[in-house]
Homo-oligomer: A and B are copies of this chain.
């Protein structure tokens, strides 16, 4: 295990204590609500961290790619929800995984997708498990709960030999909230849409045992999830500046950061150059529309303490980051010697982590680190 100061920059760091704290906090919240977690593993993309998120829950997970499904299945997680509308071109691959023993659940939200899936179920003699995606907020995708097409799609699936097992809702619109009331309302809306859609299916004679909702903001702000059978959330394990800006966590809860080194000064601009650009931080600007625009990230010292709420990564090139003060005042270059190391808290954990093939789990009480692989690709 190398020392922190031996890592090549830029490097992706995960603070072990903060990760633990964030997972425990979500566990307490869901215990209070009486609903188990189906962690969305697109954020961590690593089996050791996934196992810690799964502890005390039924054992199923959500993924965003079939590559993640393969990676986690090989590591022993068999119950996997592929939470992106299934592309008909991927049905053969999905059938192959089910034949291999994966308890794979697919989602869809269109009659033509249901038709394509039903035909594939018949042709491949595969009883695909399917959740019908339901829209709670006009954010992205989903049947409206009272759209007759929802029940018709369940019928199409059943006739083809597939199994509609329930409904799923993702209140992505919650990311646009600017206050607590909005988040509470979005959580209620998400739950209500899911429960209403499940009721429609049951009234039409379908079992619909699964009522799946989730996003980190709605999970943390839900007050009542009666009728919901599982909550999906992923970013909560790392947290990020977008979540802090939403009021879902404190800045000091952010477990993910990018270790970087000072490589230059722009003295006439009062700016500092580091070796973390958009290739490591990602181009995500998720805080741009929040009350506090964090640029490409908030700057911490090497130990992970925020230098000042004003010091951010203002601009990036591929492998360069430009540090500046948000208020336009000059940075004191003497506080950033060439060769000194810093950490950057990112806007969006999934996007920044997605830039790396590995991450380093760090304990604040010592200086050693442990490498963690990350699943990549599609």
Closest-CB distance, A236 to chain B (whole angstroms): 15
CA distance A182 to B10 in the complex (A): 34
Least CB distance, A216 to chain B, in whole angstroms: 13
| Contact assessment for B84 and A319 in the assembled complex, using a CB-CB cutoff below 8 Å | yes
Chain B min CB distance to A190 (Å): 16
A376 partner, pick from B90, B264, B322, B357, beta carbons under 8 A? B357
A89-B261 CB under 8 A given contacts A8-B378, A113-B338: yes
List of B residues within 8 angstroms of A273 by Cβ: 85, 140-141
Distance of A356 Cα from B378 Cα, bound (Å) = 9
Docked pose: A184 CA to B150 CA in angstroms: 58
Assembly CA distance A376 to B356 (angstroms): 9
In the bound complex, do residue B64 and residue A261 qualify as a contact, i.e. CB atoms below 8 Å apart? Answer: no
Which of B93, B266, B280 meets A8, CB within 8 Å?
B93
Q: Is A172 an interface residue (CB 8 A)?
A: yes
- Taking the complex as formed, is A60 at the interface, i.e. its CB lies under 8 A from any CB of chain B? no
Q: How far is the CA of A356 from the CA of B376 in the complex (A)?
A: 9
Interface string of A8-19 (1 = CB under 8 A from B): 111100000000
Q: B87 near A261 (CB under 8 angstroms)?
A: yes
With A116-B339, A283-B282, A320-B140 known as contacts, the answer to whether A8 contacts B90 (CB < 8 A) is yes
Q: A64-B318, A84-B320, A87-B9 are in contact. Are A141 and B339 (CB under 8 A)?
A: no
Query: Chain A 323-364 against B: per-residue CB contact (8 Å), 1 yes, 0 no?
Result: 000000000000001110100000000110011111000000
Residue numbers in B under 8 Å from A280 (CB-CB): 378
Residues of B within 8 A of A172 (CB): 317
Q: List the B residue with the shortest CB-CB distance to A111.
A: B338
User: Would you give the shortest CB distance from A320 to chain B, in whole angstroms?
Assistant: 6
Q: Of B65, B109, B279, which is within 8 A of A264 by CB?
A: B109
Question: A112 in the interface, Cβ–Cβ < 8 Å?
Answer: yes
Chain B neighbourhood of A322, CB < 8 A:
140
Within A95-152, which residues are at the interface with B (CB < 8 Å)? 108-110, 112-113, 116, 138, 140-141
CB pair A84 B275 closer than 8 Å:
yes
The answer to whether A110 touches B354, judged by C-beta atoms less than 8 angstroms apart, is: no
CA distance A284 to B377 in the complex (A): 18
Residues of B within 8 A of A138 (CB): 269
A85 to B284, CA, bound (A): 24
* B87→A318 contact, CB < 8 A: no
Query: Contact: B261 with A141, CB < 8 Å?
Result: no
CB distance A85 to B264 under 8 Å? Answer: yes
A263 close to B (CB within 8 Å): yes
Are the CB atoms of B261 and A88 closer together than 8 Å?
A: yes
Q: How far is the CA of A282 from the CA of B339 in the complex (A)?
A: 30
